Amino acid sequence: MTALLEVRALDKHFGGLHVTRAVSLALHVGDRVALIGPNGAGKTTLVNQVSGVIPPSRGSIVLAGEDVTKLAQAERVRRGLARTFQITTLAPHLAVQRQVELALFEREGLTGRAWRSIDGYPALAAEARALLAQLGLGEHAGLPTERLAYGEQRLVEMALALALRPKVLLLDEPMAGVPKSDATRLLAALDALPAALAVLIIEHDMDLVFRYARRIIVLADGAVLAEGTPDEIRAHPAVRNAYLGH
């Protein structure tokens, strides 16, 4: 089966600091993969390379059979790669639905049509409302994001990513800063992601990781320490000693 995403021997150096070391992984249709490891293991640096935030020092990234290593972030998004970030990047004063509409506007290549208002595309407004309803945010569509709880803001970020109709979704610590009262909604949203979507999730919440992931990749000192099913990772001696702590 052809992989939707292939990461091939990615290395990243910042001066004398070697942050990722020959990291390789693959995501296929419908994958639910968690990337875990202690702080400083290189997880976010790896995702930043994959998404185009920073270039790798060595190695390549292949998306749906195309080498995208030298492509900008926007070009990778157009080819089906979307991500969320550890810290929310939402416009605080803009209504939730309008932010999703703008993502849809970008997806459809309409941003250059300054002569026509975004309000002139009722089909996109309807799609935005449907996406927000799917994530349990329908009642908040008209509110600015600054008035939403933090967990709800993370759901808005997910809506923006899904609006792009990605093939591959990278979720960078979706539970970071989310109170337990909002965790159930986020878990439900993760469970409801499209079945064909390939998901790579970086997360420190081990309850979420072992509940959600079908495959787990463990990074340590910038390199892949282990990869396997949740049961295999739980039983892996090096992972237990280095990370799980028992």
pLDDT digits (tens, 9 = 90+) for 85-108: 766 678 889 999 999 998 898 888
Burial of 120 (0-12, 13-18, 19+ CB in 10 A): exposed
The predicted structure's pLDDT at residue 47: 94
CA nearest 156: which of 176, 177, 134, 173? Answer: 134
Q: Is the dihedral of CA 138, 139, 142, 147 positive or negative?
A: negative
At residue 73, the pLDDT reads: 92
Which residue positions in the chain have pLDDT lower than 70? 1, 86-88, 112-118, 242-246
Q: Indicate the angle between helix axes 150-163 and 122-134, nearest 10 degrees.
A: 130
pLDDT for 86: 66
What is the per-residue pLDDT for 87?
Answer: 63
Q: What CATH number does the domain containing 39 carry? A: 3.40.50.300
pLDDT for residue 112: 63
pLDDT at 57: 95
Q: What pLDDT, on a 0 to 100 scale, did the predictor assign at position 210?
A: 92
**Structural domain count of the chain:** 1
pTM greater than the 0.75 cutoff:
yes
Residue 226 belongs to domain spanning? 5-244
In the prediction, which pLDDT does 175 show?
Answer: 85
Output the pLDDT for position 113: 59
Cα torsion 215, 236, 60, 158 to 10°: value is 40
